[in-house]
Amino acid sequence: MKFLIFCLLVFISISLKAQENYQFKKIANNFPVINKCDHQDILGDTVAKKLEQFDQVYTKKVTCGPPAYHVSTEIEKPDLYYSIQKVTAYYRKCVKKETLPKEKIEKNMVDILNKCLLIYSQNTSHLEQELRSANNSKEILGIFSKIIIE
C-alpha cells in the first residue's frame, strides 16, 4: 500500500513538471513593414529589422497631458518584451565569444521574434507567467521552443 501511494506521488510530481506546449493560432495581423533599419546589430540585418518590428508592435509612445507634455513608452506584455531583451543580450554575447555559429543564432532569433509577433493579439498569460519565473536565458529559450503556431 505504501509503495502504491509512493508511486502515485512520484507520477503526480512528474506530470506536474512535464513540459507544456503553448499552442496558438496563426492570426493575420497588420504589422509595420521595416525595409531599412538605421542601427546596425551584431546579430545581422535581418534580426535588426525583426527587432525593430518587434519594438514597434510591443511598445507605444504615450504623451502625458499638461503641464509636462513629455512622451513615455508603454510596453505591452512586458514579460515577453523583457524576455526577448534577455535572449538578444545572450545571443550577442555568444556572437562576441564565438560560442555559437552566427547563422544558427540568426535563424533562432528570427524564429522567436516571428512567434512573438504572431501571438501578440492572443491571450498569453500562462506563457508570460512561465517567462516571469525563468531565471536565465537558456530557460527562456526552452520556453520559447514550446510555442507552437497552428
Answer yes or no: is 7 within a domain: no
Answer yes or no: is 29 within a domain: yes
Q: Using an 8 Å Cβ cutoff, are 140 and 83 in contact?
A: yes
Looking at residue 45, its pLDDT comes to 85
**Total count of domains within the chain:** 1
What DSSP string describes 24-58?
Answer: E------PPP----SS--TT-HHHHHHHHHHHHHH
Looking at residue 115, its pLDDT comes to 92
Answer yes or no: is 93 within a domain: yes
- C-alpha cell belonging to residue 125: 498569460
Q: Which amino acid would we find at residue 31?
A: F
DSSP H helices, 59-148, are 78-97, 102-118, 125-133, 137-145
Domain that holds residue 33: 19-149
Answer yes or no: is 77 within a domain: yes
Answer yes or no: is 13 within a domain: no
Separation of alpha carbons 104 and 85, rounded Å: 18
Looking at residue 12, its pLDDT comes to 52
What is the pLDDT tens value at each position of the chain, 150 positions in all?
666 565 555 555 444 444 588 888 887 777 777 777 766 778 888 888 899 999 989 998 888 777 767 888 888 899 999 999 999 999 999 999 989 898 999 999 999 999 999 998 889 889 999 999 988 999 999 999 998 888
At residue 33's C-alpha, the angle toward residues 86 and 145, to 5°, is: 35
Handedness of CA 113, 117, 118, 123 (dihedral sign): positive
Q: Using an 8 Å Cβ cutoff, are 57 and 31 in contact?
A: yes
Q: Using an 8 Å Cβ cutoff, are 22 and 146 in contact?
A: yes
